[in-house]
Amino acid sequence: MIEIERKFLVVSNDFINETFAKKRIVQAYLNSNVERTVRIRIKENKGFLTIKGKGNSTGTTRLEWETEIPVQDAEKLLTICENSIIDKTRHEVMVGKHMYEVDVFVGDNMGLIVAEIELQSEDEDFEKPSWLGKEVTNDERFYNAYLSVKPFKTW
């Protein structure tokens, strides 16, 4: 139930040629409080309920619990969520022995592209591809819960 993740801005579209899978994701928050977020997500044709705790001082590690729910339930829950809906396409890209999830946002967050990598430990080494830019792991502005309240287009 512990997630160790680092997040980076993406500086070019070169990742597209390396994508082995992509999925549309629509999500919103029943609670966007930084102490604990409660997210509803539809990924392709599956629904999910996710609870995330506050990150540690580096923003890298936090509690995450997720369970699949019927997509019809997820669609209903999206109608009562806070703020705006996040809409993005997730590209899955293998770099070395790690998978990057590269999110290309549309709608109110169009123009933002963020890559995430999940690790086994905070100090684990990983390969950084040429399209990877500045690390934003501890910058709350790039958390999806924040983007649902203050979309990228308003910055």
Q: Which of 29, 100, 143, 146 is catalytic?
A: 29
Determine the Cα–Cα distance for residues 140 and 129; give it in Å rounded to an integer: 23
Closest by Cα among 58, 131, 121 to 93: 131
Write the CB contacts of 61 (distance below 8 Å, at least 6 apart in sequence): 2, 3, 4, 55, 122
**Owner of token pair 């669609």:** 75
Determine the Cα–Cα distance for residues 111 and 141; give it in Å rounded to an integer: 14
Determine the Cα–Cα distance for residues 134 and 83; give it in Å rounded to an integer: 27
Query: Catalytic residue at 146?
Result: no
Q: Which residues are catalytic?
A: 29
